[in-house]
Structure 1
């Protein structure tokens, strides 16, 4: 386990740098664009992402995850995935191109026709990166990924800001997405040193789809649930209302997507190495949950507390309607490591059938709650997301309890000291924000005091996650030392 922990630490370090740089860049660009563009512009892009996001999942079809999960893959496996991805991408792009008028009619937004005709190119560009992306993840080569993601995000972000300042409006965000995916595809292929060398075979397709098919269905349900929120709000309300919800969702997803991508990317290959040893898999899951919850949970609870002053300070007062939505969505994400890591452990065990069954039950409840809440507005939808997150915590741990004897109660018990620290620091922070004016200095000081109090409680309660963090930091210090590889 020591060697596996060192490899996981190394992979986590580079993966964290890559994802942090990418999402950090995207967040900075979004802040600038929010100052220049209108809520309606953000709403229009959100309407189209409903279709392009689901299309991207159909293009991948779970084959990327299957390439990572399998112990041995061949050149035919790689070429089969590439051929399927690029073919399905162009087919779906053509479907979206010709259905653009229907999409515009559904939302009652004529501008969506021309926007759709540009954004359909996201699908083939994403398909080009499918195999190189999976291969670099399989090798835990996140240093190369970091270079590709940072460069692509920087160039695309700079282009979006320039277009927005020049008065191109919503088109700046559309071109940002296209440029980012195009550069990413080229760079990942270069760093992976991959070109198709095998053949498309039915044997490889069936072998990979046996695992990837269930992963596709599970991810489709998850994506349908997330994008359904925009679909219904865009249908029942105007683009500006959806824009407020989209900005709150994007702000919440900056940290949650960061931790989700990081845990999925590192967790699946690391868990896959010990998948046939239940005790080691349980230990790896337990350790990962402790450390990730220790870092992530207080961040999301803190984000919920400072939502209003943060929105006003970062995006401007015209976005203040997004603040209560952000608070609810941030609370809904507090248990995100528990969701992500349990699913990764189940996928690593090769039980994608159980994962799909679990996702189907969970998402049917969640979709029902969001659908019922959507006529009442974005705040009601955010409340439904919070309720579904709490229900999902129980469902996501159901099969892990059976396979590893590590269910929800045991997992929450392991996070007990972390939860106690969050409660203490949240109470202190809320009292300070209630009785003091919400100036930038007061908000910054509140965050600092609450963070220090959280660490003091962790030390006082002898939180195992605190010790694990110190050990990880020590590993990183040795790994990044100038003499580490001599």
Structure 2
């Protein structure tokens, strides 16, 4: 048990270093590109990126989670999975390349054809990296993953900025994903050189197909749930509104991703060492949800009240129309942050079927909300409001099902861990609202610094006096022993 806790802390530590360094790099690169490129150019690339994400999901077919969960897979089985992924990815890449003109015609964007054809390279290398990359996580090589991620982000971001300055326009936005997929493949395959076999048998893999199948179905449903907004806004509201919406969503996602991607990649590989110990899982889930809520709900309030300053400071005055959408989406950060850890709990418990059910319910709710926002209200702000409502309902449904099916308890047992963070978020909202009434500076930087000075000490006081100081001391002591 102590060894598992130590590995969890060490994994989170190294992942955090890379993610927060990446966050700084990403903010700088995004701020520069936003001043050099137009909103409609970001909208075009957003469409291509969503399509690539879908094809990457098919190429994975649930293999990543399967490799991590089933540690008994030998070299023969791993080579079979690798060979299967190569065949699937090669087929998908060729189809995507040949059908690029279909996407361009559908959205009325001729430039989209060449963008998709170039991104077929990214799809190819990402797909054939699925199994070798999963082995990094299965073997808990979090330090290597962190260093790899940091190097790729730094080099790829620099190349993108130079390309934008040189006048490559929209193509500067696709350099990083192509470069990243190529380098991740090279590093992963050098570490785990699995043999490609022209002919192979999947007979030995039959016992794991059920796990992989439900994981794949969840990934598929989750994709449509998460990307229907981009696809529908781009088609029916236009590329310029999509550019504003995409920039709002990505800015909201930056803190969300750089918190969840510090923790969630570590949870499943580490907890799977413990097996299906439901008592242990229950304890971990409660503590993890408490911690994520402590960060997420106050952060939502801070982003809401700093929406204008953040948009204008990072992207410039030409992105002012993105402020209302970002303000609404920021209120989903706390919900999404807590919800992000639920998938690892279902996976570790071996219940990917329930995970799929949650994903299906979430997809129906999210897509319904997006359809209302696009076709009935016809605005990106309405889409954001509908997503806020659907995320809230999905949150309650997911944890109700988890506690009913896996832990055999009432949802109230889980909700008891949220009252402190929600109470503090409410108090923080009052404080920032009253503080905002006194602001008279025209400079957005001064307004942002003032609100930050209100937020940071208040958040520190909550953590220290709200009963979390013991957890902080324990974390520091454990970190000293693992370094």
CA distance in 1, matches of 2:433, 2:55: 42
Aligned mate of 2:421, from 418, 423, 438: 418
> Hey, what's the Cα distance between the residues in 1 that align with 2:401 and 2:203?
30
Residue by residue, what CA displacement relative to the aligned partner does 1:183-212 show, whole Å, maximum 9, x if unpaired?
Answer: 12212333x343338883212443333211
2:455 equivalent among 447, 450, 469? 450
When structure 1 is superposed on structure 2, of 256-265 and 82-91 the one drifting more is 256-265
Comparing 231-240 and 201-210, the one that deviates more: 201-210
**1-structure distance, mates of 2:237, 2:333:** 25
Matched with 1:392 is 394
> Equivalent residue for 1:436?
439
2:25 and 2:125 mapped to 1: Cα distance?
20
* CA deviation after TM superposition for structure 1 residue 406, in Å: 5.1
CA–CA separation in structure 2 for the residues paired with 1:19 and 1:457: 25
CA contact (8 A) 1:312 1:320 kept: yes
Distance in 2 (alpha carbons) for counterparts of 1:73 and 1:390:
39
Between the aligned partners of 2:236 and 2:411, the Cα distance in structure 1 is: 37
Indicate the SS of the match to 1:170: helix
Corresponding residue SS for 2:341:
helix
Residue 31 (structure 1) shift: 1.3
Q: Which runs of 5+ in 2 are unaligned?
A: none
What's 1:471 paired with? 474
| Structure 2 counterpart SS, 1:71 | coil
Tell me if the contact between 1:424 and 1:454 (Cα under 8 Å) persists in the aligned partners. no
Query: Does 1:81 find its partner at 2:81?
Result: yes
* CA displacement 1:251-271 (0-9 Å, x = unmatched): 111111222323321111233
Range 252-261 or range 50-59, more displaced:
252-261
Q: Label 1:207 to 1:275 Cα distance change in 2 as closer, same or farther (>3 A).
A: same
Question: Which secondary structure state, in structure 2, belongs to the residue aligned with residue 201 of structure 1?
Answer: coil
- In structure 1, the gaps of 5 or more residues are 481-486
Q: Select the residue among 379, 383, 386 that pairs with 2:381.
A: 379
Alpha-carbon distance, 1:407 to partner: 5.0
Q: Structure 1: how far apart are the matches of 2:196 and 2:239?
A: 46
Does the 8 A contact of 2:365 with 2:394 survive in 1? Answer: no
Aligned to 2:246: 246
Contact 1:50–1:228 under 8 Å retained in 2: no
Q: Does 1:137 find its partner at 2:137?
A: yes
Asked whether the equivalents of residues 229 and 381 of structure 1 are also in contact (C-alpha less than 8 Å), the reply is yes
Runs of 4+ in 1 over 6 A off after TM superposition: none
What is residue 100 of structure 1 aligned with on the other side? 100
1:259-408 alignment runs, 5 A limit? 259-375=259-375, 376-402=378-404, 403-405=406-408, 407-408=410-411
Aligned residue in 1 for 2:412: 409
Q: 1:181 to 1:25 in 2, by over 3 A?
A: farther
Shift of the 100–397 alpha-carbon distance from structure 1 to 2, 3 Å rule, reads: same
SS of match in other structure, 2:416: helix
Please name the residue that 1:483 is paired with.
Answer: none
Change (3 A) 1:340 1:406: farther
Aligned-partner Cα distance in 2 for 1:362–1:296: 20
2:30 aligns with 30
Q: Is the contact between residue 328 and residue 388 of structure 2 (CA under 8 Å) also seen in structure 1?
A: yes
Q: Distance in 2 between matches of 1:187 and 1:45?
A: 27
Once the 2 structures are TM-superposed, how far is the Cα of residue 159 of structure 1 from its aligned partner? 0.9
The reply to whether residue 19 of structure 1 matches residue 24 of structure 2 is: no
Tell me whether 1:168 sits opposite 2:175 in the alignment: no
1:36 Cα deviation (Å)? 0.7
**Normalized against structure 2, the TM-score is what?**
0.94
Give the 3 Å change call, closer, same or farther, for CA 435–138 of structure 1 in structure 2: same
What's the CA shift for 1:362?
Answer: 2.1
Q: Which moved more, 1:65-74 or 1:267-276?
A: 267-276
Which range moves more in the overlay, 127-136 or 319-328?
A: 127-136
Other-structure match for 2:157:
157
Q: Distance in 1 between matches of 2:120 and 2:245?
A: 24
